[in-house]
Structure 1
Amino acid sequence: MSTPPATTILLPTIRWTDACEEVADQLVPGDELLLVCDDESDPITSREGGLPDGVRIVKAGEPARCSGKANAIIAGMREAKHDRIVWTDDDFHHPSDWLAELHAAYEEHGPVTELPFFIGRDPLSMLLEPVYAVGGTLGVYADDIVWGGAVMFERSDLDVEAFFADLQRTVSDDGILTEHLDVTPLRRTRRVPVGGSIRDTLERHARFAQIVRYHDPKGKVVMLLLATLVSVGAVAFPLPALVLLTLFQLGLYAAVGELRWTFLLAYPAALAQVPLFLYGLARRTFVWGGRRYRWRDKFDVEVVS
């Protein structure tokens, strides 16, 4: 394989985490890792011992009409030195060949993204793991959706300024990138811990429900219809539904290489998904990354606090 070009990796974070160390260790001469925070008050700006070679801090400032994540991505991409760009997050393990595998996949397919597999850290998020497997893993793969935790592309793959114009007035960074970039999802998952408390999980569920509302309104209707039919069938025919839903989730978990015991929660998760999705759609505000947002329309975002 030819030597990949110098690359900029964007990692929005406010503190130094294991993920920062893991990605920094994979840099080769010429690469840069940009740790994008808000301002001087973030712990990352005063990290003891300094930063490894190739690692820089970018201060994005406070978001005005978009999410903090979207604001960080814009600041990082404007600061990036290179044409090949990687987005990633600080909340999952990056094995030592992670960056090299993305380069190899890009050479074969063009823009690529990996798949998230969300692991619950509280009772509600654990219950919802089968729902996340369908919406967050299978959905990304089947619908060619970008996952912002692991995506590689080049500036020439999209109209960057048009992308910025949309991103700076909305919430979902990967939702907007999906609309501007043709991407190939790889059948390769990364385990992402989510939740921590029931409140955290409800906030996350509200954000996801509203992403579907504004980025895929037809998909929202189809999703609600299918989920309702599954729920009605599960209530009307509990034993067959229990068997079929559990086998389906077992097959899905196996297909993506994630054999966790939570596939056994397929039946109660199916019963919970419709009321929780409606709850997320009904919420007027939600919290993400310590900020509260009011998302009135796709390009109408208020940072409440």
Structure 2
Amino acid sequence: MEAAAPTTVVLPTTGWNDACKQVAAQLRSGDELLVVCDDPLESVAERVDECVDVRLIVAGEPEGCSGKANAIAAGMEAAETERIVWTDDDFYHPPGWLERLRADYDRQGPTAEVPVFVGRDPLAAVLEPTHAISGTLAVFFANIPWAGSLVFERSDLEDEAAFLTDLRRTISDDGLLMEHVEFATVARTRRVGIGGSIRETLENQVRFVQTVRYHDPTGLAAQGVLGAALTAVCVLFPLPAFLLTTTLMAAVYAAFGIRRWTFLAAYPVALAALPLLCYGLARRSFVWGGRRYRWRGKFDVAVETAGQ
């Protein structure tokens, strides 16, 4: 039997947490976990020193890109293996998570799992049907890579140096990766908390819309047409639209094992689809991870402190 390919897991985080421990426990001989932080946090360094095959990578402050993209680029540069896994620290990594991704790659090449976003504030909860469509259903059927859980190899990138250069001048790491590597998605979902306050949920909405704007303009146009059509149908035929949207959303939830009452919000979310899209396009900046970003073009990003 051919030996399993050594794997580097790149995990951007702001501190040592459960996700770090969960991934570290799944490493095989030859694997490595790179815990990537903006600053050389002593508390993280101490925990890393206690673990075999785990390293702290200091990415530094981002300049002209998002903190996440900067961290991924630093992790990629520090990685010592051919096979790379990207993941996030905001969901549970069950035993066997890494092994499944490894097997996925051996079977079909670059592979990503799909997220299920769960609201942590009232507005984020009401908007869950939007995320179920665009963040789960569309991601699965369009084979869009989700940076929270994916695997690929360096050789899948035509020009890794150019890719890393581009990462350091944009916002969306998985949006950029989508343009460089063809992925297959698998119907394994990871439950990810989103929001926390109404303000944070609105900021996320702006980021999501602008990611589609710069990385999938055709998809954005389709969203605009669909949003306008949904709004019109919901206004003109409220009762049939309520029954149809709720039933279809219940089917989507069932297909991906989402057991949440929020499918009942499908009708008001459909009414709000076009206004939410317009809001995301109209905003000139958004806050993410304590920084304010002005995303003026795919490779034109200004980074400020959140208070500016």
- Short-chain TM bin: over 0.9
Residue 33 of structure 2 corresponds to 33
Structure-2 separation of matches of 1:98 and 1:74: 23
Are positions 1:128 and 2:102 aligned together? no
* Native 8 Å contact 2:187 2:256 kept in 1: yes
Deviates more, 1:68-77 or 1:158-167: 158-167
Residue 171 of structure 1 aligns with which residue? 171
CA-to-aligned-CA distance 1:197-242 (integer Å, 9 cap, x gap): 0011011111001001111112111101101111111111111111
2:262 paired with 1:262: yes
Give the count of matched residue pairs. 304
Give deviations 1:82-120, integer Å, cap 9, x for gaps.
000000000001110101111111111100000011000
Structure 2 counterpart of 1:162: 162
- Moved runs in structure 1, 4+ residues, more than 4 A? none
Shift of 1:165: 2.4
> Do residues 79 (structure 1) and 68 (structure 2) align?
no
RMSD: 1.4
**Which amino acid in structure 2 is aligned with residue 139 of structure 1?**
A
Q: Trace 1:90-239 onto structure 2 (pairs within 5 A).
A: 90-159=89-158, 160-239=160-239
Instruction: Provide the C-alpha distance between the structure 2 equivalents of 1:262 and 1:95, rounded to a whole number of angstroms.
Output: 25
Aligned to 1:276: 276
Q: Aligned partners of 1:288 and 1:70: how far apart in 2?
A: 12
CA–CA distance in structure 2, aligned partners of residues 101 and 46 of structure 1: 29
CA contact (8 A) 1:167 1:176 kept: yes
- Aligned to 2:16, the other structure's residue is in SS state coil
The match for 1:67 is 66
Match of 1:17 in 2: 17
SS in 1 for 2:94: coil
2:139 match: secondary structure = helix
Q: CA 1:209–1:43 in 2, change beyond 3 Å: closer, same or farther?
A: farther
Q: Deviations over 1:146-177 (max 9, x none)?
A: 10000100101112112112211110000000
Asked if the contact 2:15/2:41 (under 8 Å) is kept, the reply is no
| Structure 1 letter corresponding to 2:115 | P
Aligned equivalents of 2:148 and 2:119: distance in 1? 17
Conservation of the 8 A alpha-carbon contact between 2:8 and 2:31: yes
Q: 2: distance between equivalents of 1:206 and 1:245?
A: 24
Provide the rounded CA distance (Å) in 2 between the counterparts of 1:57 and 1:264: 44
> 2:39–2:59: 8 Å Cα contact kept in structure 1?
yes
The 1-side partners of 2:253 and 2:42 are apart by: 38
Distance in 1, Cα, partners of 2:169 & 2:54: 28
Instruction: Using the TM superposition, give the Cα deviation of residue 46 of structure 1 relative to its aligned residue in structure 2, in angstroms.
Output: 5.0
CA displacement at 1:50 relative to structure 2: 4.2
Cα distance between partner residues in 2 of 1:130 and 1:69: 26
TM-score, length basis structure 2: 0.95
Q: Percent identity?
A: 56
Aligned twin of 1:295: 295
Q: Deviations over 1:248-273 (max 9, x none)?
A: 11111111122221111111111122
Q: Residue 14 of structure 1 contacts residue 42 of structure 1 at CA under 8 Å; is this kept in 2?
A: no
Q: Distance in 2 between the 1:125 and 1:75 partners? A: 31
1:42, CA displacement in angstroms?
7.3
Match of 1:166, as an amino acid? Answer: D
Relative to the length of structure 1, the TM-score reads 0.96
Amino acid at match of 2:111: V
Q: 2:285 — aligned with what?
A: 285
Contact 1:23–1:94 (8 Å) recurs in 2: yes
How far residue 2 of structure 1 moved from its aligned partner, in angstroms, is 4.5
Consecutive unaligned residues of structure 1, counting only runs of 5 or more, are none
